[in-house]
């Protein structure tokens, strides 16, 4: 196992690692199923949401000076409208929900238990406040026959279920980003997963 170090940041302090986090998101989300043609400009605009929330949280993994893994979370009420909308429409008490953002690792660092550590850290952070009852996140749905789907692709569903999360097909949103090789953003269907805290 490589010699790794760990870093936590909260609220506005997350802004100090935006460059590393943005580069990592672009690298990991380029792969299927996200196929994200990212840009630093888009990333920094997206990540500002986390810097503006007093209760946001980042847990990052470093190999030397390089960020090789990271995970974030934020109160749902502090998220963007497109993330909040399905919960508001379904009548959820949104100020009791914590939203889990990315959970990303470069391929070389997978299989070391860091995925579980990411969930442990975020769940512990959300519970610290004593007012949040539910954790949630969303994932993209590409369909079974997407032409870019690798033959050996395995979705994370089994891992998420093992962590106690349940897919909620009634909770859906749409997000837009450009696919690899494209310059224009197109809508992508997203489905939510939830568990009690």
Average pLDDT per block of 10 residues along the chain, 197 residues long: 89 96 97 95 91 98 97 97 96 97 96 96 98 98 92 94 97 94 94 98
Structure tokens at 18: 């935006």
What total of structural domains would you count in the chain? Answer: 1
pTM of the model: 0.95
Position 2 scores a pLDDT of 65
Quote the domain boundaries for residue 118.
Answer: 4-196
Cis? peptide before 26, omega within 30° of 0: no
Q: Identify the helix (H) or strand (E) that includes residue 187.
A: strand 186-196
In the Cβ-directed half-sphere of 130, how many Cα atoms lie within 13 Å? 0
CB atoms near residue 177 (< 10 Å): 20
Cα 41 to Cα 18: distance, rounded to the nearest angstrom = 11
Position 143 scores a pLDDT of 87
Cα 80 to Cα 99: distance, rounded to the nearest angstrom = 11
In contact, 70 and 102? CB cutoff 8 Å:
yes
Nearest Cα to 18, choosing from 82, 78, 77, 70?
Answer: 70
Domain with residue 110: its CATH number is: 3.40.630.30
Nearest Cα to 137, choosing from 154, 157, 151?
Answer: 157
């Amino acid at each position: 196992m490589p010699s790794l170090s760990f870093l936590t940041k909260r609220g506005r302090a997350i802004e100090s690692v935006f460059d590393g986090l943005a580069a990592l998101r672009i690298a990991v989300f380029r792969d299927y199923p996200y196929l994200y043609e990212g840009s630093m400009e888009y990333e920094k605009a997206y990540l500002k949401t986390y810097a503006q929330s007093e209760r946001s949280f980042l847990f990052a993994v470093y190999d030397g000076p390089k960020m090789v893994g990271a995970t974030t979370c934020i109160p749902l009420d502090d998220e963007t409208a497109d993330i909040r909308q399905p919960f508001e429409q379904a009548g959820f008490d949104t100020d009791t929900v914590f939203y889990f953002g990315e959970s990303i690792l470069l391929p070389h660092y997978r299989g070391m238990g860091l995925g579980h550590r990411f969930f442990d850290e975020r769940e512990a952070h959300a519970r610290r406040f004593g007012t949040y009852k539910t954790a949630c996140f969303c994932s993209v749905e590409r369909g079974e026959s997407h032409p870019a789907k690798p033959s050996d692709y395995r979705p994370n569903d089994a891992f998420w279920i093992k962590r106690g999360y349940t897919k909620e097909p009634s909770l859906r949103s749409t997000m837009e980003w450009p696919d690899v090789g494209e310059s224009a953003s197109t809508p992508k269907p997203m489905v939510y997963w939830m568990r009690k805290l």
